[in-house]
Chain A
Amino acid sequence: MRRSRSVSCDVGGRGGWNASSLRNEALLRNAAAFASDAPLSVYVHIPFCVRKCPYCAFTSLVPASGGIIDAYLEALEGELARWTETAGRMFCAETLYIGGGTPSLLAPRQWERLIGILEEGLRFLPGAEVSVEANPESLTATSLRLWRNWRISRVSLGVQSFDEEELAWLRRPHSAARARDALSACLAAGFRTSVDLMFGLPFQTLHRWHRTLQELHRSGVRHLSLYQLSLEKGSVWGASPPSEPLPDGYAFYRFAQWYLRRKGYGQYEIASFAAPGEWCRHNLAYWRGGNVLGLGAAAWGFLEGIRYGNGNNLARYVAEVRKKGAVSVEERLEGRKRAGEAAVLALRTAGGVRFRSFARRHGPEEAARLVRCLEPFGERFLRREPGRIAFSPGGMRVANALWTEVLADDEDDASLEEGSLSGRSCRR
């Protein structure tokens, strides 16, 4: 049972976490204390990869030596200890997600170290969902065994494609064969397995896409995450895009929505498809505004409405985290902005926004305003159920445009009286 608190603080700004911002420190301390009062989600970032994929904008690097990883794990332990101290008690994880980078890159003894840190530093709810991200080229039987023997119950495998050409173009560090082997190994080891796939690749055909989905379905995988290739700022391709033209992702996405539903996968979020019971509870916490403790360089957390981000400079993280912590950015939204963000996140999920809890958290006016903004879009884009509003599969496809409508209406009600020349009104 989570207690919901409204910590009354001012609008959070950006800013360093340093000794002089005593007020911020107090706020975060407060938040941590409250958050640790109940089970929450924990995220651990392992920013190491064997090679940087050109489309990836996440924080990760190729470690020059194993020593760097060891130092990093030491620092992680320090960060967790600091948080525990700040909160005044140990955090209790109901979900834990070890992401990256490529966590499976860690050597078995490094895994043992990490497991030790987490086991010592956290409490775990019975039945807690613990996931780890893995890449086919670094998945080993040893790791699988280590994970099984600990609490890890989910593996999210970065496959992206089963087509050799596509994998080569994406510069993935593994072959399709290896990916298949890795997949079988995960399933055989009894993990709840999720596979990441990409669409919108050049020369990708609908047929090939179908065969991939079909193969995955037949393999027994019960969770899929589908992402359209996009050229993100901060990635290699973001800076110098590939010369091949990228297709419109619409057809692939729409087909997947249709096909996977027939095969028994529920689309429970814009990019996530799961057989019944297989949804990822950790990710759901992000979209439902649950508390998240983020650990590691570049990790993000969300405690009692304060979102914070750790600095992404690895060397600095390792050097300073024990003394100063790692938080480099924080923000706290209030009122309408906060409600807007919460609505946008909730609408990513098939469950959408539940009015009662939304109204409780953000006030009944916000809930009413949300309905007013979305209602005109009708059945084509929305699913209305008693007490709830969500996007239909069609709505998910144009979610950006719909979210813009929700966010656009942040004038005071007074300005809605102006003529159509100047004001924008959500009322239609």
Chain B
Amino acid sequence: METGRIRNFCIIAHVDHGKSTLADRLLELTATVDMRFLKAQHLDTLELERERGITIKLVPVRMRYRDREGDEYILNLIDTPGHVDFSYEVSRSLAACEGALLVVDAAQGVEAQTVANAYLAVEQDLELLPVVNKIDLASAQPERALKELEDVIGIDTEGALLVSAKSGVGIAEVLDAVVRRVPAPEGDPEAPLQALIFDSVYDNYRGVICYVRVVNGSIRSGQQITFMANGISDQVEEVGFFTPSMRASEELGPGEVGYVIANVKTLHEARVGDTITDARRPAAKPLPGYKRVKPVVFCGFYPVEREEYPQLRDALEKLQLNDSAIDFTPETSAALGFGFRCGFLGLLHMDIAKERLQREFNVDLVATTPNVGYHVVLTSGEILEAHRPSDFPDLGKIEEIREPYIKLSMFLPTDYVGKVMQLCQDKRGVYGSMEYITPERVRLVYELPLAEFILDFHDKLKSVSRGYASLDYEHVGFRQGNLVKVDVLLNDEPVDAFSFICHQDAAYHRGQAVVRKLKELIPRQLFEVPIQAAVGKKVIVRQNIKPLRKDVLSKCYGGDITRKRKLLEKQKEGKKKMKQIGRVSIPQEAFLAFLKVSEDAEE
């Protein structure tokens, strides 16, 4: 197919504004349907994903479309993950396209992700086609939605499409608009091969499958190719496209979208954003935009049963097969034993990983409270990356601590502005701007330390705004903060599993919360146990667990002896299973309860 007849586009929308339904309709209308294969097999239908608003990603589907004049076109629909945690992946998927359908819910209007994704599309020089969806709803206000698009994002809404994906209204017009308004790809078939890997998945049978957009040159089976990021060369086993099932073909030329299978075993070899070129006639430069994603949120994963450590390790390795962004290294904790320190792109990424480990791989694990990575500037001038509290050196050696910040964009009804601003303030947010999108809706921008954000900001936001607020954020670098490391001591011994980093103003309050929680969870011992929170040598909070007062079996004659002895033996077995922190015995459940990544961990 000549490049003039190819159109590469994607659909971007805020969650639940109708992206999937619209995609389904497009596929139906172009008779590309085979519903069974619509969902990519490597992503499971997790409740979590639906809750958090990620729809299941589609494979890049090739649709054949005959327009009114009878000309045939190839329309490649490339799906994008909707969540900010994966914004790098989004940007690479966008880089494979020339146009994007910008979908807005006619009743809801412009929301945070609408904006975030639209900006990414503009950054990639994509042609934006505004689409107002759900016009069938009684509460639909298409004119208002269009006005918001113009005012908030600043795009021209001339020729915007009004559709109802649910009832099938306006879909043919969408296809038509794609053909007419999305530019055809440009590319030189004679130039050295440059193909963008905009996604890759691991398949149990076939190894890594790369989703590619060929920019220049062509790629065919049997060809020797090189992955430019790491220089690894491989032979192509197969190329093809999706309809949506896999269909092998002879070659993929410039402007085409499809897949490449090349005997790649791990995702580390075939990275998202990387460029594939010909091994014998390589391109001079890779395609722009490739970068290595860095994890920003960290936590420890520990097996509940010590013996399950190998299973946890295997599960993490398998998870990594499918998700190159997960980072993990072994670590130990005196309290929890052997485990792993894991890095993620964000909280959602972490939650999904944890969920998958437990559900798919059946590993019972405890996750420590998530934390961000800090840059610690030492008095010697050296900069240390600290991923967990124990990475921090002594107070005396620290010149400055820098923490990652994000710029938060929130869309909410005006009624909740006060509460939301208060929330941001409480989370050490710095006011950025506020604009009225409509008299009833506001866009609020704040800059916030990422550490505060991961402490249940999202849930609190939903709560104070009764669910009406939406948010999106981007990372804006590291800033100096007055941060301290708070140690928790049990019976005068520090317990690394409980220490945390926080702003010095919050140290007392959070120290109190931690100490109080521990007091509830740790059973009485034969002696008084002081629980302390300390910053450096200074104790800021102290509470005592009172000693056991009475624990005795009254009667013990003839027949009682054996029975009572067995009770004691059971008690003894229970004690053996406890973790010993010095002289203090703590049952496993207390650790799990404390370290559970849950909303109520912090007040």
B interface residues, tally (CB under 8 Å): 27
Q: Is A344 an interface residue (CB 8 A)?
A: yes
B554 touches A228 (CB 8 A): yes
Q: Which of A108-116, A120-128, A141-149, A398-406 contacts B (4 or more CB under 8 A)?
A: A398-406
A287 and B556 contact, Cβ closer than 8 Å, known pairs A341-B565, A403-B568: yes
Q: Is B552 an interface residue (CB 8 A)?
A: yes
- A421 at interface by CB-CB < 8 Å: yes
- Contact yes or no, B572 A408, CB < 8 A: yes
- Which residue from A307, A309, A410, A424 sits with its C-beta under 8 Å from B580? A424
Contact of B552 among A270, A292, A299, A410 (CB under 8 A): A270
Whether A345 and B562, one on each chain, are in contact in the complex, defined by CB atoms closer than 8 angstroms, is no
Known: A230-B554, A404-B572. A397 touches B565 (CB 8 A): no
Q: Which residue of B lies closest to A309 (CB)?
A: B559
Tell me the dominant secondary structure on chain A's binding face.
Answer: mixed
A283-B558 Cα distance, complex, nearest whole Å: 9
Instruction: Give 1 or 0 for each of A124-136: 1 = CB within 8 Å of chain B CB.
Output: 0000000000000
CB < 8 Å neighbour of A399 from B337, B552, B561, B580: B552
CB closest residue in chain A, given B578:
A424
* CB neighbors of A among B62-95 (8 A): none
Write out the residue numbers on chain A whose beta carbons fall within 8 Å of the beta carbon of B562. Answer: 300, 307, 309, 331
Counting CB contacts under 8 A, is B583 at the interface? Answer: yes
Select one of A298, A300, A396 contacting B561, CB under 8 A: A300
User: Given A377-B526, A398-B526, A408-B576 in contact, is the A250-B559 Cβ separation under 8 Å?
Assistant: no
Q: Does B191 contact A (CB under 8 A)?
A: no
Could you tell me the distance between the alpha carbons of A16 and B336 in the complex, rounded to whole angstroms?
45
Q: A398-B549, A404-B571 are in contact. Are A271 and B554 (CB under 8 A)?
A: yes
In-complex Cβ contact of B568 among A377, A396, A407 (8 A): A407
Our pick among B337, B552, B568 for the contact of A397 (Cβ within 8 Å) is B552
- Considering only residues 546-603 of chain B, those with a C-beta below 8 Å from chain A are 548-559, 561-562, 565, 568-569, 571-572, 575-576, 580, 583
A355 interfacial contact with B, CB 8 Å? no
Return chain B residues, CB-CB under 8 Å to A271.
554-555
| Chain A residue at smallest Cβ distance from B554 | A227
State whether B568 touches A250 (Cβ < 8 A): no
Interface residues of A in 389-428 (CB under 8 A from B): 396-404, 407-408, 410, 420-422, 424, 428
Determine the chain B residues whose CB is within 8 A of the CB of A396 once the complex forms: 552
**Chain A stretch 304-349: residues in CB contact (< 8 A) with chain B:** 307, 309, 331, 341, 344-345, 348
Closest to B569 in A: A407
Q: Are A424 and B526 in contact (CB under 8 A)?
A: no
* A397 and B549 within 8 A (CB): yes
B residues within 8 A CB of A248? 549-550
Complex CA gap A404/B549 in Å reads: 15
Instruction: State the total of A-B contacts with C-beta under 8 angstroms.
Output: 96
User: Roughly how many angstroms separate A26 CA and B565 CA in the complex, as a whole number?
Assistant: 26
Interface residues of A in 222-266 (CB under 8 A from B): 226-228, 230, 248-250, 253-254
**Could you tell me if A381 and B559 are in contact, using CB atoms closer than 8 angstroms?**
no
Closest Cβ–Cβ distance, residue A422 to chain B (whole Å): 8
Of the candidates B334, B548, B572, the one having the most CB atoms from chain A within 10 angstroms of its own CB is B572
Chain A residue with Cβ nearest B567? A400
Which residues on B sit within 8 Å (CB–CB) of A287?
A: 556
Q: How close is B204's CB to chain A, nearest CB, in angstroms? A: 37
Interface membership of chain B positions 356-396, coded 1 if the CB is closer than 8 angstroms to chain A and 0 otherwise: 00000000000000000000000000000000000000000
The one of A377, A400, A422 that contacts B553, using a Cβ cutoff of 8 Å: A400
CB distance from A425 to the nearest CB of B (A): 9
How long is the Cα–Cα vector from A300 to B563 in the complex, in angstroms?
12
Does chain B have a CB within 8 A of A103? Answer: no
Interfacial residues of chain A within 37-61, with CB under 8 A of chain B in the complex: 43, 58
Residues from chain B with Cβ under 8 Å of A253 in the complex: 550
Neighbour of B556 across the interface among A43, A249, A292, A348, CB < 8 A: A348
Which B residues are in CB contact (< 8 Å) with A398? 526, 548-552
Q: How far is the CA of A292 from the CA of B559 in the complex (A)?
A: 11
Q: Tell me which residues across on chain B come within 8 A of A250, comparing CB atoms.
A: 549-550
CB A380 to nearest CB in B, in angstroms, measures: 8
Q: Is A294 among interface residues, defined by CB-CB distance under 8 A?
A: yes
Contacts of B568 in A (CB 8 A): 344, 400, 403-404, 407
- Least CB distance, B330 to chain A, in whole angstroms: 15
User: Which of B549, B552, B555, B557 lies at the interface centre, i.e. has the most chain A CB atoms within 10 A of its CB?
Assistant: B552
B558 touches A286 (CB 8 A): yes
Q: How far is the CA of A399 from the CA of B554 in the complex (A)?
A: 10
Excluding A286-B558, A286-B561, 12 further A-B contacts by CB distance (< 8 Å) are A271-B555, A292-B558, A299-B558, A331-B562, A344-B565, A377-B526, A398-B526, A399-B553, A400-B552, A400-B568, A403-B568, A424-B575
Q: Name 15 A/B residue pairs within 8 A (Cβ), A-sorted.
A: A226-B554, A250-B549, A250-B550, A270-B554, A283-B557, A302-B561, A307-B561, A341-B561, A398-B548, A400-B552, A400-B553, A400-B568, A400-B571, A421-B334, A424-B575
Residues of B within 8 A of A (CB): 306, 334, 337, 526, 548-559, 561-562, 565, 568-569, 571-572, 575-576, 580, 583
Residues of A participating in the B interface, judged by any CB pair closer than 8 Å: 43, 58, 226-228, 230, 248-250, 253-254, 270-271, 283, 286-287, 292, 294, 298-302, 307, 309, 331, 341, 344-345, 348, 377, 381, 396-404, 407-408, 410, 420-422, 424, 428
- Closest A-B pairs by Cβ, 4 of them: A300-B558, A250-B550, A400-B551, A300-B559
